[in-house]
A and B are shown apart, each in its own frame.
Chain A
């Protein structure tokens, strides 16, 4: 069993990791404000992400964030390579654009309303070329 390192080491590790640009940032939308995404699929996708060792970002509801022009949408859009598990790509792109933070053209959007959890998890967690 490992023991906790000194505070300074932990700070350095967290921020170094957070600031380094990664191959792809994974974002999961929970659609918690009005559940239009099938519960089984969204739970399974999150479970599969949790089963992996990957770091990832989760938000309660991208629609709610877009409605409030949440500044975190700009931070997400600026992440570089992005893989997003949410709903229809046209809607997700529109939400970011309307909030003034258009997604990069190569952002990969996985649709939890139509795809299977396995397909989505495979796409989110695939190794970068």
Chain B
């Protein structure tokens, strides 16, 4: 799981008592530019309230007419910087924020795409098919035996393949273009179409990728524990090649497949994890 968060600042555009309001267009332009750089911005306006503060430093921007007040957190926990932005153009305000941040690291758009499965637990039946399917250890099981996305940074960018094996259409990728994978509502017709019924025990020892290719009952009978590992790998690759050809998954997923040995080992581990979780329910 990615746990590092670099959030040095909460920028507050202060337009309450004691500061002059920015023109609406300049305000929007400034906020857009800051957000597109990865900052979070609170607009503190008249009348309503913003979110409670957290443990980040505050950078309070306001048109204080050249007299930005010196502020101090009453609890002494949070540092508060104030900057006067009277007469500044949006670009200059963004430059001022960058300068105030200094060399503190911040997560920034453009360097990485947040791509990982999101489980809709209102639909998930904890069948563990996704756990068995994913070759990159994205899924795991929680202490209370529930399927979980545990290593979302292992997920292959732009590959939504696991969403297709979920029989309940419970796996979403919010950054995907089309529904229902992007989180769009599911109609029953769609749910039926998306369901891929597989025999979980043969699936755990065999080749679930075939299920994506051939969804008929006849195809299911082809799952067999007796198949040679080489043949299973061959079929998996063929199927993945087709999915790449269809534009459903990116080509680099094929290139990053583990070795036959690793695949079989992973299948064993997934089988044990799934069996333990299902037995413990």
Contact A19 B52 (CB under 8 A): yes
Least Cβ–Cβ distance between B64 and chain A, in angstroms: 4
Least Cβ–Cβ distance between A109 and chain B, in angstroms: 10
- Number of A interface residues at 8 Å Cβ cutoff, please give it: 68
Beta-carbon contacts under 8 Å, A32-89 to B: 32-34, 36, 43, 46-47, 49-61, 63-64, 66-72, 75-76, 78-79, 87-89
Contact A60 B69 (CB under 8 A): no
Is A104 in the interface zone, CB < 8 Å from B? Answer: no
Is B46 in the interface zone, CB < 8 Å from A? Answer: yes
Beta-carbon contacts under 8 Å, A1-56 to B: 1-7, 9-11, 13-15, 17-23, 25, 27, 30, 32-34, 36, 43, 46-47, 49-56
A88-107 vs B: 1/0 string, CB under 8 Å?
Answer: 11111111011000000000
Is B133 in the interface zone, CB < 8 Å from A? Answer: no
Contact B71 A10 (CB under 8 A): yes
Contact B67 A22 (CB under 8 A): no
The answer for the CA separation of A26 and B24 in the assembled complex, in Å, is: 18
The answer for the CA separation of A64 and B37 in the assembled complex, in Å, is: 13
Contact A32 B38 (CB under 8 A): yes
Of B18, B50, B80, the residue contacting A5 (CB under 8 A) is: B18
The answer for the CA separation of A50 and B120 in the assembled complex, in Å, is: 33
Q: How large is the interface on B (under 10, 10 to 19, 20 to 34, 35 or more residues)?
A: 35 or more
Least CB separation from B11: chain A residue: A58
Question: Which of B26-34, B194-202, B260-268 is near enough to bind chain A?
Answer: B26-34
Question: Which of B181-189, B221-229, B242-250 is near enough to bind chain A?
Answer: B181-189
Of A32, A50, A90, the residue contacting B109 (CB under 8 A) is: A32
Known: A60-B35, A67-B116, A95-B118. A15 touches B16 (CB 8 A): no
Of A7, A32, A68, A71, the residue contacting B54 (CB under 8 A) is: A71
Least Cβ–Cβ distance between B232 and chain A, in angstroms: 31
Contact B109 A61 (CB under 8 A): yes
The answer for the CA separation of A3 and B64 in the assembled complex, in Å, is: 7
> A-B contact count, CB below 8 Å?
223
Contact A11 B174 (CB under 8 A): no
Complex interface: chain B residues within 8 A of A97 (CB) = 121
Least Cβ–Cβ distance between A30 and chain B, in angstroms: 4
Complex interface: chain B residues within 8 A of A25 (CB) = 49-51
The answer for the CA separation of A46 and B88 in the assembled complex, in Å, is: 20
Indicate the member of A55, A71, A89 with the most B CB atoms within 10 Å: A55
Contact A47 B5 (CB under 8 A): no
Complex interface: chain A residues within 8 A of B185 (CB) = 88, 90
Contact B18 A10 (CB under 8 A): yes
Beta-carbon contacts under 8 Å, B108-124 to A: 109-110, 112-116, 118-121
The answer for the CA separation of A14 and B37 in the assembled complex, in Å, is: 25
Complex interface: chain A residues within 8 A of B28 (CB) = 43, 46-47, 50-51
Is B77 in the interface zone, CB < 8 Å from A? Answer: no
Least CB separation from A90: chain B residue: B183
Is B19 in the interface zone, CB < 8 Å from A? Answer: yes
Contact B183 A4 (CB under 8 A): no
Contact B69 A88 (CB under 8 A): no
Listed by A's residue number, 20 A-B pairs whose Cβ atoms lie within 8 Å are A1-B65, A2-B20, A6-B69, A14-B44, A14-B60, A17-B49, A18-B44, A22-B49, A55-B49, A57-B40, A59-B35, A60-B36, A63-B174, A64-B107, A68-B2, A68-B107, A78-B52, A95-B174, A97-B121, A113-B182
The 7 closest A-B pairs by CB, nearest first: A91-B183, A88-B183, A22-B49, A63-B114, A7-B69, A30-B35, A50-B28
Chain B residues engaging chain A, CB cutoff 8 angstroms: 1-5, 7, 12, 14, 16-20, 24-25, 27-28, 31-32, 35-54, 60, 64-65, 67-72, 74, 80, 107, 109-110, 112-116, 118-121, 149, 152-153, 172, 174-177, 179, 182-185
